[in-house]
Structure 1
Amino acid sequence: MDIVRASYPYACSTSGPGGGSKGQLVFPEGAVLLVAERSDDGWCRGYSAGNQGWFPASYVSPITPEQLLVHSVNPVALNSILRSPSWTVYATVEGKLYYVNNNSKETSWTLPSPPGNSLDTLSVPTEKSPLHVSNGVAMRRKTMKEAEKPKKAKYRIVNGITFCIEGGEPQELMNPQAPSYIDYFWSDKGDRSGFDVIREKHVQGKDVIKEMMDFFKERAAIEEQYARNLNKLSKSTHGEQEEGTLLAAWKSLKAELRQRSEAHSKFASKITETIEKPLFEFKESQKTDRKHHEQLLEKSRKQLQSLDAAIDKAKQSLNGLVKTSGKMKRQSSINGDVKIGDDMKKLEATYNQAQRLWVDNMIAACRDFERHEEERSAYLKDRFLAYIDLCVEAQETTAQALTYSTNMVDNINKKADREFFIKKKGTGTLRPVDRVILET
């Protein structure tokens, strides 16, 4: 229940909840009114001088507890408004109204109903409660419970988006089975939106793929250079002066170098074809989806911020009309209230529709980016395993060549090499004898 004062005189209007003079409350400028009900279309139902009815909210202004005392709105004045034979109205020092039954001394925070109707009571100030009256205004001691506090806002606006207040009614997770992007990136973090955080993760993943491509490109280049060096060394003249089993061992080593060179050259080629190039194609395939979601989210986010600014502007226009309505004709003032109210409802509907579209786009983006990240992780794992398989394959090929070289080295026989040399290079078996110059 609020106490208000009439800023302008009001007669009646053909529009509004009352639909004419029978349902509307008439009052002069400066009249004190009790507001019992407020409607969403800018009208109030209240009491004044024993009468009740509807009137435009823009014609009155609230009275603060300090103004309540300054204007001497005491129980006498309040009861002149109520004019009830059974109840007396009092005001606490904070401006909270309560009512005392003149016969039963029953108390209530709510406005007494007209005669014949029952009044709901609350277990609030009783005759024995620590209330006392000073200078005609009801006062309370510090031991009295605080009056009902005004309702807190049910939502908060962050960068044009509407959220429930922190600590409010909890929302169920969209994917309670496992942590998911669609449940943890709705709010903004500083000047970055949740979508920006997800997009940055996606871009980082793309950069890592690029780094992986560079890594394997360099790896293939090293293998190719190694293969060329091995092939060059295999064609050298080292060990050609050897003979026998030693010469065969030298030849086997050079043959192993040639095979190893071919194996590493093939290894380098396979790294390029089966790892580096597919990584590039995979990176490019994810770029299209990212740009699609970037455009949709950026467009819907700008629309939301624009609509939020339009709502603030409409609120300011409504407040301005309330302040200036006393200088306008009554009917045009009421029509202005109704028009602005209709515009506000349209803005609200448009905003909510745009926000639902943004939510849908955000859910789609979260799911696609999450899917892309899972695909990227699985694909990189597959490429790593493919590289390991290529290493094993190259090692097996070189191992076979090395086995042949090992056998040839094991076959080195110094006796056989000596025999081979003697047979090939020997100059004769006759050894020198003593010379006899004078025979005896």
Structure 2
Amino acid sequence: MHPTDHPGVPLRRTTMDKQNPGNNSPAKRQNKEIKETKITINCVTFPLPSVMPDQPEQQLLKPNEWSYCDYFWTDKKDPQGTPSVGGFEVLLQKQLKGKQMQKEMAEFVRERIKIEDEYSKNLSKLSQSPLAAQEEGTLGEAWAQLKRSCHDEAEVHLKFSNKLQCEVEKPLLTFRDNFKKELKKYDHHIIDLRKQLASRYAGVEKARKALADRQKDLEVKTQQLDIKHMNKHEEDIKKARRKSTQAGDDLMHNVDLYNRAQSKWFEEMVTTSLELERLEVERVEMIRQDLRQYTTLRHETDMFNQSTVEPVDQLLQSVDPAKDRELWVQEHKTGELRPVDMDI
């Protein structure tokens, strides 16, 4: 994705002084006051804050949004104060942690599914228990319905388990797999660009050292000429000046390559940071919807469970000890004649 895909984010522009540093004479360099306005940390160049009062401060790329693309440019320091983890790595670790949390959520749902399956099996088994099967009358009817409700409830929990697997666990795992592929792609891309930037910076430092050596050589030969005024040194000075100029050209070329590499890294960092931001929003929204589905299924289960006990409630309200006694007596009576006193 190219940074122009994000119209609200201005691109970084790199400017450089095109004057060849190898053309400056030693005397000019000694008299010229150079005020540093930039600093390079871990191969990345930053402006020094508040160096020039009239220099405008950098503006956030996405103000008031706390966007990833604004707050992870420098490297995170270890307890000793040494830069150890790149800003992109901090972002990536956040995403990897989110991926791990999603995996653990799926494991949690899987454990809930196991519990529901086991609960369903136990309820179904319990509904077939012969315990109190000989209870009679209206109470016996209520008891038989209660046992049947266990079977019905077992079916409810089995359906809940199946829906959890299809509508909650599976989407979590599918999204996580896709999320993992996206992260790996961005990870490798930014790391490669940072390596290229480090290589270009090494080239700049090498060219800078070569220029310093050439300028020092030119300065020594110039001082010798000032002292001795010997014509045979003039050719040596010309050669030294040409080498200094060439070293300056090399430095300018390497700085240009470095700036191009840093500009590319910058643009891809902005793009990738915004992509990671988008992925994180999608992850959170997806999980939120997934957990909402969980609560919806849970509410449905409660309602279905309630429906399984409603017939039990109705029969319990109809339980009548007097009627049960009447029915039992009619079925099991042994005689209505009562004993009387014996005659003499």
How many angstroms does 1:386 deviate by? 0.6
User: Could you tell me which residue of structure 2 aligns to residue 182 of structure 1?
Assistant: 69
Native 8 Å contact 1:293 1:361 kept in 2: no
Q: Distance in 2 between matches of 1:347 and 1:270?
A: 62
How many angstroms does 1:62 deviate by? 4.2
CA RMSD between the two structures: 2.0
Native 8 Å contact 1:206 1:283 kept in 2: yes
Aligned with residue 341 of structure 1, among 218, 231, 248: 248
One-letter amino acid matched to 2:75: D
Aligned with residue 126 of structure 2, among 229, 233, 251: 233
Q: Deviations over 1:272-303 (max 9, x none)?
A: 11111110001111112211111111111111
Aligned with residue 270 of structure 2, among 343, 360, 363: 363
How many angstroms does 1:329 deviate by? 2.0
Q: Distance in 1 between matches of 2:129 and 2:208?
A: 91
Aligned with residue 382 of structure 1, among 289, 314, 325: 289
Aligned with residue 165 of structure 1, among 31, 43, 48: 48
User: Could you tell me which residue of structure 2 aligns to residue 321 of structure 1?
Assistant: 214
How many angstroms does 1:348 deviate by? 1.2
One-letter amino acid matched to 2:42: N
Native 8 Å contact 2:76 2:87 kept in 1: yes
Q: List alignment gaps of at least 5 residues for structure 2.
A: 1-18, 78-83, 222-232
One-letter amino acid matched to 1:188: D
User: Could you tell me which residue of structure 2 aligns to residue 280 of structure 1?
Assistant: 173
Q: Distance in 1 between matches of 2:27 and 2:139?
A: 117
User: Could you tell me which residue of structure 2 aligns to residue 116 of structure 1?
Assistant: none
* Pairs aligned (count): 302
Q: Distance in 2 between matches of 1:339 and 1:40?
A: 9
TM-score, scaled to structure 2? 0.83
One-letter amino acid matched to 1:186: W
Where relative contact order (Cα < 8 A, 6+ residues apart) is larger, the structure is: 2
Q: Deviations over 1:140-195 (max 9, x none)?
A: xxxxxxxxx94431111010011111235311111124221111111111211110
TM-score, scaled to structure 1? 0.65
Q: Secondary structure at the match of 2:85?
A: coil
Equivalence map 1:232-271=2 (5 Å): 232-271=125-164
Q: Distance in 2 between matches of 1:214 and 1:162?
A: 45
Native 8 Å contact 1:271 1:387 kept in 2: yes
One-letter amino acid matched to 1:389: T
Q: Distance in 1 between matches of 2:28 and 2:148?
A: 105
Greater Rg over alpha carbons, structure: 1
Q: Secondary structure at the match of 1:260?
A: helix
How many angstroms does 1:415 deviate by? 1.0
Q: Deviations over 1:17-75 (max 9, x none)?
A: xxxxxxxxxxxxxxxxxxxxxx634334xxxxxxxxxxxx2588849xxxxxxxxxxxx
How many angstroms does 1:401 deviate by? 1.2
User: Could you tell me which residue of structure 1 aligns to residue 22 of structure 2?
Assistant: 42
Aligned with residue 193 of structure 2, among 291, 300, 306: 300
How many angstroms does 1:435 deviate by? 4.0
One-letter amino acid matched to 2:74: S
User: Could you tell me which residue of structure 2 aligns to residue 407 of structure 1?
Assistant: 314
One-letter amino acid matched to 1:161: V
Aligned with residue 393 of structure 1, among 292, 296, 300: 300
Native 8 Å contact 1:59 1:322 kept in 2: no
User: Could you tell me which residue of structure 1 aligns to residue 11 of structure 2?
Assistant: none
How many angstroms does 1:342 deviate by? 1.4
Q: Distance in 1 between matches of 2:215 and 2:21?
A: 13
One-letter amino acid matched to 1:256: S
More helix by share: 2
Q: List alignment gaps of at least 5 residues for structure 1.
A: 1-38, 45-56, 64-148
Native 8 Å contact 2:194 2:265 kept in 1: yes
Native 8 Å contact 2:153 2:305 kept in 1: yes
**Identical residues among aligned pairs (%):** 32
Q: Distance in 2 between matches of 1:339 and 1:233?
A: 93
Native 8 Å contact 1:223 1:268 kept in 2: yes
Q: Secondary structure at the match of 1:329?
A: helix
Native 8 Å contact 1:286 1:372 kept in 2: yes
User: Could you tell me which residue of structure 1 aligns to residue 3 of structure 2?
Assistant: none
